[in-house]
Amino acid sequence: MGNLVGMVTQKPGTPAPRIDPLTLEVVELIGDVVARYYEEYEVAAGKHALTGAQARVLGLLSIEPLPMRRIAQKLKCEPSNVTGIVDRLEARGLVERRPDPADRRVKLAAPTEEGLGTARSLRESLDFAREPLAELSREERLSLRGLLRRMLGEKRAADGK
């Protein structure tokens, strides 16, 4: 990837760009970061014979057991899909379903000991997060943090629940 929709690469002989070249290049770089992030993520999951969705759910549950419905919200997908994903994780012994004492309708998905270990290993194999950042000094990281924060705007922190 690195160029998700051809939004950057300028075909020779195409009308002049409406956006300035600097912005275009930054957009392209962001696209590259996105592509690289996903790539490394899939590779890390694959090392444990997990799909992206499975690794994502396992990562979520390793922080905190969740009702099926909440998982669907986090994944931004329909609850019916979570059934299958958790089924597969459960079949591999990485996750288990527990009753919720407070509401007998809900099932809490929670990682097993092995699941926790896999989640930890998964985190550690996500080199991209740390490695390339290692090239940046503390000041540069502060600068990058500020720029990313402004890019994301107020929308931050509105993720939960």
Partner DNA sequence: TATTGTTATACTCTATAACTATA
Partner DNA sequence: TATAGTTATAGAGTATAACAATA
Please report, as ranges, the residues that interact with DNA according to CB under 7 A. Answer: 51-54, 67-70, 75-88, 97, 100, 103-108
Whose Cβ is closer to a copy of itself: residue 99's or residue 132's? 132
* Range in contact with a copy of itself (rule: CB under 8 A) among 81-89, 91-99, 102-110, 134-142: 134-142
In contact, 58 and 119? CB cutoff 8 Å: yes
Closest CB 27 distance from a copy of itself, rounded Å: 4
Q: Is 159 one of the binding residues for a copy of itself (CB under 8 A)?
A: yes
Q: Is 37 one of the binding residues for a copy of itself (CB under 8 A)?
A: yes
Q: Which of 54, 55, 82, 86 binds a copy of itself (CB under 8 A)?
A: 55
CA distance 105 to 128: 40
Residue type for 88, please?
Answer: R
The interface partner of residue 147, options being DNA, a copy of itself, none and the CB cut-off 5 to 8 Å by kind, is: a copy of itself
Tokens of 1: 């990837």
Nearest to 115 by CA among 87, 88, 96, 100: 96
Q: Is 104 one of the binding residues for a copy of itself (CB under 8 A)?
A: no
Tokens of 87: 């089924």
Q: Is 43 one of the binding residues for a copy of itself (CB under 8 A)?
A: no
CA distance 17 to 73: 39
CA distance 12 to 6: 13
Q: Is 1 one of the binding residues for a copy of itself (CB under 8 A)?
A: yes
The interface partner of residue 103, options being a copy of itself, DNA, none and the CB cut-off 5 to 8 Å by kind, is: DNA
Beta bridge partners of 66: 109
3-state secondary structure of 11: coil
